[in-house]
Structure 1
C-alpha cells in the first residue's frame, strides 16, 4: 500500500496567485467593455486582448498556485501539456468573448458563452494538473471536481455578464474582485479534489533535497511576466480611453459649433424637468444668474403671454417622456424679446430611466417676421387684386353696353347703305370687328372673374373638421360619374384612406380640380383609368395621389402648369388656366405641397402632401398664433 503524502501551501505564493487572478480579471473586464463600442476591425483586436488577458492571467494564476502547492515530493512539469493548458485557456476565453460580442451581449448569448468559458477554464486547470510529473500517483474526488467545474462555469458567466454591462470603475473593481476570487476558488477547490500518494517508501524524504527557493523564483518570474503583460494591456486600454476622450471632446466642440451655426442655445434639465447646474448658454442669452434660472426660474425669462402655455407643455412632456417641440418668446439680456423654437429630448440611462433632458433654443425671430411680412404682403395683393378686378368691371360693362349699341347701329347702317356697291363688304367688316370686340370682352370677363375668385378664396377663413377621405373622394368620383362615362373612364378610390383634419370645401376644391383635369385630358385612343390613393410620409404627413393614363405633360411644362393663366399642351378643352394655380395656393395655405410626375403619352400623377392632425388647413392669422407644444 502506497503511503499518502501530506500536502500544504506556501501562503505567499497563494496570495500572489489570487492577486494575479484579480488583476487579470480587472484587465480583461476593462478590455471586454470596449468591444461593444468598437468598429468591426478594432472589435476583434479587443476580443483578442481580452482573451489573452483573461486566459493568460488565469493560466498564470494556476501555474503560480501549483508552485505554491507543497506536495513533499520533487515535481516537474511536462512542457507540451503546460503550453496546451495555456492555449486552452486563451482559446476558450477568446471564443466566449467573440460569441458575446457578435450577439451584442444579449442575455441568451451570455448563457452560451459563460459555460463555454467555464469549461475552458476547468479544462485548462486539469490539463495543467496532467502536466504535473511526480514520483507518485494523483487521484481525484469526483464530487469535488464537479464542484470546481460548477464554480468555473458560474464565475465565467457572471464575469461575461458584468463585462458587457455599462458600469463605472468602482463596479468594475468589485466585479474583478468577485471574478478573481471565484477563479482562485475554482483552482483551490480543484486542488482539494486531488490526492497524492507515493510510489515507494522513502519518497517523501526526497522533499528535503528540493529547492523551494528555486520554485519561489520561478513563481515570481511567471508572476512578473504576467503582470508586465497585463500592464501593457492596461496601458493600451488607457491610451484608447484617452483617444475616446479626445474624440468625445472634439465631438462636443463640433456639436456646440453646430448649435451656434444655427443660432441655437444648448441647455440641460434634470429628469424632473428642472434646470440645474451651470447653464452658460442660457445665462448668456437671458442674462439670468444661476440662482435665477435654477428649478423653474427659467420661465421668468419667457414672455408673460407664453409662460403658462410653455410650463404646461413642458410638464406634460416630462410626464409622458416624449420629445418636446414648442415655440415662445424669450427676454434677452438687453431687455428685447426674441422668438425661439425649442426642441428637447430625454437622455436615458442603462435601465431606461430618464437621466436628464437636453434641449436647444433656436432663434427664429427673422423667420417669423418674414412670415408675418409675407402674410401682410399676400393680403395686400389680394386686396389690390380685388379692387383692381372690381374697378375693371365698370369700364368693361360700358364696353359691353356700347357693343350692343353698335349691334343696333349695324342694322341701321345696313339699311342706309342699301344699294351701295360696297354695302356688303362694309357690313362684313363691321360684323367681324364686333365679333373681335365681343370675344375680347368675354375673355376679359372670364379673367376678371378668375381673379375675383382667387381673391375671395384668399380671404376665406377655413373651418377645419375631421374628414373621412375615402368617403369624400368617393363622393367626388360619384359627382363626376357622367363625365367619366362619357370619356369611357373608370375612377377608383382606394379603401381605408387615412383621415385628416381640414376644411371640407377647400379639400373638395383641390381634389375636384385634379379629378376634373384628369378626366378632361384623357387619351381618347384608350379607356381612361384614374386612381386616387394615399400613403404616409414621415410621422406627420400624408401624400394623396391622383393618377391617370391620359395624354401626359411634357417635362418642360411640369413647373409651368401651376402658373396662373398658363396651360400646356393642345388647347382643345375649355378653361382659363387658373385651376392648378388655385389648387397650389390652397395646398400651400395648409402647409403642404403639390408635385407633378408625368410623361407624354403615358399619363400624369399629382401628389398632394398634407400634414396629418389638427393643424391641417388652419389658416395663420397676421397676429402671432397661440403657442402650444407639438
Structure 2
C-alpha cells in the first residue's frame, strides 16, 4: 500500500472548472429548443463541448492533483479518447433531450446516457495513467461513483431545459459542478495503488509535483479560454435575442396604437401593479388609484360589478378574458371598450402575468345603435304603409264586387244591342285584371306585414340538434317531395349550433321548399344537406339540389326583395330568399349561392356554432333591405 494525497490548490481549481463548465453548458443548452433549425446543432455542439470538455478538464486536473510520490505518465491515445467519450456522450444526451417532441421522461434516457459517458471518460482516463505500481478498484465504490455520475447528469439535463433566472442557474451550476467533482473523487477513492519498488526520492517527487502543477495550470488556462469564448458567444446571442424582443415589443405597441387599443398588464392574481402608461393616459388615474382593483373605479357604475366578477372568474379559471364595458376617459366622457386578456405562463405552466388590451369600439357601437334605430324605423314605416294600403285596397275589392253585380244588369239592359256580347266580354276581362291585381297587391302587403312582424321578434338562443331539426323539416315536406318524385338526404352528423330555433327553422324550411319547388321534371330529384366546420368557430351548411339551376347573372338578384329569376311558373312573391338572408345576417352568419343552369343549385349557409349572449340580447330588427 502507498501513501497518497491531493494538492488542495489543484482540487479547488478542478471544482471551479466543473462549476464554470456546468454554468456554460446550462446556458448554451437552454438555447437549443428556442434556436432556429440551422442553429440548433451549433448550440448542441457548444453545450457538449462546454460540458464534456469542462468535465474532462476537471477530471484531468483532479488526477494531476493526485499525489503519491511516483512518476506518472499518460498514454496520449487513451487520454484523447477519454475526452472524445465525454464530449460525444454529452452531445448525444443534449441532442436527444432537445428534440421538438421531447417530454420530461426523456431526461431519464439522456441523463443516464450522459452519466455513463462521464464515468466511461473517468475510468478511461484512469487507464491512461502509467504508474510504476499495481492498481485495483473497489467494486462498491466504483458503483457509487457511477451512480453519482448518472444522478448528476440527469439533474443537469433536467435543469438545463427549465426556465431559470441567473441566480437559479448559478445555484444549479454549483450543484452540478460539486456533484461531478464528487463523482471524480469518489472514483479516485475506489482505486488502490500498490508500489512495485521502494518508492521515489524526495528530490524527484518535488520536481514531479512542480511539473504536475504547471501542466494543470496549462489545461485550466485552455479550458477557461474555451469556456470564456462560449460565454462570449452566448452573450452575443443574448444581445441579439434582446434586440429582437425590443423590436417585437415595439411592433406590438405600434399595432396596439394602430387599432386604438390600450395595453395593460396584471400580476398572476389579476391585480394591476407597476407602471401602466396606457391605462393612465386613458383614464387619468395615478398608479395609487389604479393599483390592485382600483382600475374598476374608472368603469361605468352600471357595469363595474359585472366586470369585476367576470375578471375574477376568469383569473380563477385561467382562461382568456373577453368582455365589454364602458370606461370614463380623461376628459370625463364614457367610451365603449372591447377587452381581451390572455395569461402568460412560465416554464412550469404557472401564470406569470396577464396581458390585456382595451380596444375602443365606441364608434362601432354608436353605428350599430343608429342602424338598429334605422331598422326599427323602417319596420314601423313598412307596417304603417302596408296597414294603410289595405284600407283603399278593401274599397277597391268592394267596388269590384259591385261592378260584378252591375255587369249582370248591364248585360240584361243591353241584351238587344248589337255590341252587347263584346261589351260584356270587355267588362269581364277588365274586372279579371282588377281582381288579379288586387289579389297580387294583397299578397305583397301580407308578405310585408309578415316580414315586419318577424323583424320585431326578439331572438332566443338555444342549443339545436341540427340533424333532428332539418330532418323534421324534411318530413313535414314529404308530401311535396314524394309528389315531385324526389329524395332528400340529410347527413347524420350535422354539427349542433346555438341559435334561435324559429329563425333557423324558417331559413332551412324556405331553402328546402325552394329546392323541391324548382326541381327539373326531366330527371329524378335529389336534395342533400351536409355541413363542414370552418374557421372562426363557424359551420357551413350546404343545401344542394339537381334542379333547374340559376343563371349566373341572377345569383345576386335572388336575394333581393320582390325579385325572382327564371321562368315564373311557380307561385311566390319574391320575398322568401330576401327573408332568409336577413335572418342569416341577424344570426351573425352569411349565405351564398353557386348554381349552373340545367345542373342544380347549392345554397351555403354559414352560421356561428355559438351566439354570444350580448349579441342575442342586442339582436336588432331584421332589415327589410337584406343587402
Specify if TM > 0.5.
yes
Q: For 2:34, what is the secondary structure of its paired residue?
A: coil
Moved more, 365-374 or 434-443: 434-443
Once the two structures are superposed, the pairs formed by residues 481-560 of structure 1 within 5 Å of their partners are: 481-495=478-492, 502-534=499-531, 541-560=538-557
1:445 aligns with 2:437: no
Distance 2:134 2:244 in 1: 59
1:313 maps to which of 310, 313, 330: 310
2:60 paired residue number: 63
SS in 2 for 1:547: strand
Is the counterpart of residue 8 in structure 1 residue 5 in structure 2? yes
Is the partner of 2:331 in helix, strand or coil?
coil
1:197 to 154, 172, 194: 194
2:573 aligned with 1:579 = no
CA gap of 1:202–1:346, structure 2 versus 1, over 3 A, is: closer
Counterparts of 1:153 and 1:468 in 2: how far apart (Å)? 58
The yes-or-no answer on 1:214 pairing with 2:223 is no
The answer to whether the Cα contact below 8 Å between 1:21 and 1:57 also exists between their aligned partners in 2 is yes
Per-residue Cα deviation, 1:26-71 (whole angstroms, up to 9, x for no partner): 1111111111211221111110000010111111112212222223
1:9-408 matches, within 5 Å, as 9-102=6-99, 104-201=101-198, 207-208=204-205, 210-401=207-398, 403-404=400-401
Q: CA deviation at 1:392?
A: 3.2
Aligned to 1:626: none
Structure 1 segments unaligned to the other structure (5+ residues): 624-630
**In 1, are the aligned partners of 2:562 and 2:574 still within 8 Å (CA)?**
yes
What SS class does the counterpart of residue 274 from structure 1 fall into?
coil
Mapped to 2, the partners of 1:308 and 1:540 lie a distance apart of: 29
Q: Which moved more, 1:426-435 or 1:265-274?
A: 426-435
Q: Unmatched 5+ residue regions in structure 2?
A: 622-627
Distance 1:195 1:262, change over 3 A: same
Cα pair 1:587 1:610 within 8 Å, conserved: no
- 1:530-572 CA-to-partner distances (Å, cap 9, x unmatched) read 3344555568544444333333334443333221122233332
- Whole-angstrom CA distance in 2 between matches of 1:572 and 1:331: 61
- Once superposed, what is the RMSD of the aligned Cα atoms? 2.9
Deviation for aligned residue 1:438 = 4.1
Cα distance in 2, alignment partners of residues 464 and 92 from structure 1: 62
- After TM superposition, the structure 1 stretch with the greater mean CA deviation from structure 2, 215-224 or 383-392, is 383-392
For the residues of structure 2 that align with 1:143 and 1:284, how far apart are their CA atoms?
70
Q: Give the TM-score taking structure 1 as reference length.
A: 0.90
Q: Structure 1, residues 467-521: CA drift from partner, whole Å, max 9, x if none?
A: 5544443332222111111011223444575655544433332222111111112
Alpha carbons 1:270, 1:276 under 8 Å: kept: yes
User: What CA distance in whole angstroms lies between the structure 1 residues aligned with 2:9 and 2:525?
Assistant: 96
Shift of 1:271: 2.6
Deviation at 1:170, TM superposition (A): 1.1
Q: What SS class does the counterpart of residue 166 from structure 1 fall into?
A: coil
| Alpha-carbon offset, residue 434 of structure 1 | 4.8
- Kindly state the Cα deviation for residue 21 of structure 1 after the two structures are TM-superposed: 0.9
Aligned residues: 620
With over 3 angstroms needed to count, the CA separation of the structure-2 counterparts of 1:551 and 1:615, relative to structure 1, is farther
Distance 1:106 1:509 in 2: 52
Report the TM-score when normalising by structure 2: 0.91
Deviations along 1:204-229, one digit per CA (max 9) or x if unpaired, are: 67834844333322221111111011
Q: Structure 1 residues 430 and 357 mapped into 2: Cα distance closer, same or farther (>3 Å)?
A: same
Question: Would the aligned equivalents of 1:593 and 1:610 in 2 still touch at CA under 8 Å?
Answer: no
The verdict on how the C-alpha distance between 1:499 and 1:124 changes in structure 2, with shifts beyond 3 A counting, is closer
Residues 399-446 of structure 1: CA deviation (Å, up to 9, x unaligned): 445555655666666677778777766666665555444444433333
Helix, strand or coil at the partner of 1:36? coil
- Residue of structure 2 equivalent to 1:588: 585
